[in-house]
Amino acid sequence: MRIPVIVAHGDCDGLICSALILQNIPEDRARIYYSSPYFLRDTICKAMLGTKADVIYIADLSPVRETIAASSIYSRAFWFDHHTIEPSEAPGNVILTMDSNAESAARVVARYFKAEDEIVNIADQIDKNRIESFKAEQLRSLVGYLKKYTHGITFALKMRSLAISLAENGLNTVLSDKENLEGIAIYQNYLQRFSLEIEKKIKVHEIYGARVAIYTTQEFNPVYFITNKLKEHSRAPFNYIVVAVYRNLNNKTKLEFRTHTGEDVLSLAKLFGGGGHRLASGATVTENISEMQILKAIESLQKQ
């Protein structure tokens, strides 16, 4: 029997993409994985074992030369993405559905399958950090809870069961589940405590006319929340907001870039080998990146 594989980004948009794909493929089950730009090639290869490599769906993650090549081992590979990337050549069995103007990757998936669902609008709100509805806030908190408090295989299993539940029972059922509501409450409590920490730990720099806020941490902290909270800072708005997550165990730095003022932070991410969107980008670097290196990179952009 052939088993389809779904690989999506391990965030809200990716979760919603995976639920939409599940709803719209002919098979009634699939292997679902959540990945990141940094691990995607590994994920595509691992997911293949035991599936006869029939069909793979990849969403909210960018097709680049290496990941396109990995996906082409499957009989057919369907990509759905809305990140800004250089166009890549792909073999005939790799179908790229891309729209860098789409507010979410879920929007790209929904258009492809001609599937209308309120959850697509919610993906747009969350991915653009423009929350308008209570349900969007709740779903963002639920995924925030999983990102903050679960790791590795537990995170994967929880996300998987959320995707299946979203696909089969819908958003209202997911958001009225007792365990999910408990997770949301725990996460919202954490945010209250965390908002005090941001004020204390944020470092502000002026560099060539740009105002930069840098937040360094060793754990998971929600970048959207830091960005929103900093709007109330006495020196806001910030041209560049940088969240640097240090994973000292494996000498890795995860950099996230945002802006209050429409600065092109994609160019900044590219200086570190990363990517994303013009107003929200990131990079994972396999060394410890110092604040000084980040400021130097911003300086080089400001000088242009």
CB nearest Mn ion: which residue? 13
6, 21 Cβ separation under 8 angstroms: yes
Sole binder of Mn ion in the list 103, 117, 127, 256 (CB under 5 A): 127
CB closer to Mn ion, 99 vs 197: 99
CB closer to Mn ion, 14 vs 183: 14
Q: Spell out the long-range contacts of 188-196 with Cβ–Cβ below 8 A and sequence spacing 24 or more.
A: 188/141, 190/148, 191/144, 191/222, 191/225, 194/221, 194/222, 194/225, 195/225, 195/229
Per DSSP, the three-state class of 120 is: helix
* Alpha-carbon distances of 280 from 35, 143, 242, rounded to whole Å: 18, 19, 10
Q: Write down the least CB distance from residue 280 to Mn ion, Å.
A: 9
CB closer to Mn ion, 13 vs 263: 13
Select the span of 10-18, 93-101, 131-139, 248-256 touching Mn ion (CB under 5 A).
10-18
* Alpha-carbon distances of 81 from 18, 68, 84, 95, 290, rounded to whole Å: 12, 13, 9, 11, 31
**Quick one: tokens of 153?**
């295989």
| Residues in binding contact with Mn ion, number by CB under 5 A | 4
Mask 44-83, x = binds Mn ion (CB under 5 A)? ----------------x-----------------------
The rounded distance, in Å, linking the Cα atoms of 263 and 279 is 7
Q: Write down the least CB distance from residue 111 to Mn ion, Å.
A: 14
Which parts of 237-266 interact with Mn ion (CB under 5 A)? Answer: none
The rounded distance, in Å, linking the Cα atoms of 30 and 234 is 49
Q: Write down the least CB distance from residue 29 to Mn ion, Å.
A: 25
Report whether the peptide linkage leading into residue 237 is cis, meaning its omega lies within 30 degrees of zero: yes
CB closer to Mn ion, 163 vs 295: 163
CB closer to Mn ion, 47 vs 102: 102
158, 179 Cβ separation under 8 angstroms: no
13 interacts with Mn ion by CB under 5 A? yes
Sole binder of Mn ion in the list 6, 77, 105, 139 (CB under 5 A): 105
Q: Write down the least CB distance from residue 83 to Mn ion, Å.
A: 7
103 interacts with Mn ion by CB under 5 A? no
CB closer to Mn ion, 105 vs 120: 105
> In 103-189, where do the E strands start and end?
none
Binding site for Mn ion (CB under 5 A): 13, 60, 105, 127
